[in-house]
């Protein structure tokens, strides 16, 4: 059985989508979800779905090997960042080479980098009158949003769209593609 561990900081709708997708799959499962936010909604989702979830703080993430040990303890074959907002420390990248992936809600290299997340990304897409946006699934390296791109998918942005409707379209792409790309990487 291949094991996925998800890192998430917020709502966790992608985490839930990935968990339920692999509940139907014989060879792959989500072993655990880790979060850096005690109040993250993703914790409620894990509780409901019966997936172990754990909180870690900044010190254990950045200045120790504790989270790496947890990932190893779950025999993680793939570490999936789904709305996780901290930069991944070098010790974790070294421990899981080409085994940490992220989803970004825009077409990188556009609209990436520190501070470019969630609502801010969609607002910037709107303000720049882009005619398309999308998702990028990429490997994680030591720089925000700069690892090698694995997959992108696009959606049109119309003049009538606002940041909310853009976010909705992007979420639909995420739900459709992220589990399938994870499955491909693991098989
Ligand atoms: C997603 O749009 C993802 O691309 C980005 O953060 C958002 C997380 O949403 N990295 P959710 O927590 O999965 O609902």
Nearest alpha-carbon partner for 135 in 149, 119, 146: 149
Nearest CA to ligand 1 atom 6: 83
- Looking at the 3D structure of the chain, how many domains does it have? 1
Q: What is the CATH number of the domain that holds 34?
A: 3.40.50.170
Q: Return the best residue to mutate from 83, 111, 133 for the ligand 1 pocket (most ligand atoms within 8 A of CB).
A: 83
CA distance 48 to 80: 20
CB 23 within 8 A of CB 45: no
Nearest CA to ligand 1 atom 2: 105
Paired tokens of 147: 């690892």
CA distance 134 to 146: 16
Atom of ligand 1 nearest to the CA of 135: 4
pTM of this structure: 0.96
Which residues contact ligand 1 via a Cβ below 6 A? Answer: 8, 10-15, 82-83, 103-105, 118, 174
Active site residue 138: no
Give me the domain span that covers residue 100: 2-186
pLDDT digit of tens for each residue in the chain (187 aa)? 999 999 999 999 999 999 999 999 889 999 999 999 999 999 999 999 999 999 999 999 999 999 999 999 999 999 999 999 999 999 999 999 999 999 999 999 999 998 899 999 999 999 999 999 999 999 999 888 899 999 999 999 999 999 999 999 999 999 999 999 999 999 9
Paired tokens of 33: 């979800």
DSSP string, 91-129: HHHHHSTT-EEEEESS-TTTT-STT--THHHHHHHHHTT
Residue 98 CA, ligand 1 centroid: distance in Å: 21
């Amino acid at each position: 059985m291949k094991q996925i561990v998800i890192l998430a900081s917020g709502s966790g709708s992608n985490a839930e989508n990935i968990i339920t997708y692999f509940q139907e799959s014989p060879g792959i499962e989500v072993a655990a979800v880790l979060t850096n936010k005690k109040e993250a909604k993703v914790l409620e989702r894990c509780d409901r779905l019966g997936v172990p979830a754990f909180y870690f703080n900044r010190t254990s993430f950045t200045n120790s090997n504790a989270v790496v040990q947890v990932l190893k303890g779950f025999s993680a074959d793939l570490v999936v960042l789904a709305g996780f907002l901290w930069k991944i420390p070098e010790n974790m990248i070294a421990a899981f080479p080409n085994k940490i992936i992220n989803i970004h809600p825009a077409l990188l290299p556009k609209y990436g980098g520190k501070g470019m997340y969630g609502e801010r990304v969609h607002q910037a897409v709107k303000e720049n009158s882009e005619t398309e946006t999308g998702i990028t699934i990429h490997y994680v390296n030591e720089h925000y949003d700069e690892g090698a791109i694995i997959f992108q998918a696009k959606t049109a942005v119309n003049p009538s769209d606002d940041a909310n409707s853009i976010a909705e379209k992007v979420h639909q792409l995420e739900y459709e593609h992220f589990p399938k790309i994870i499955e491909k990487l693991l098989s």
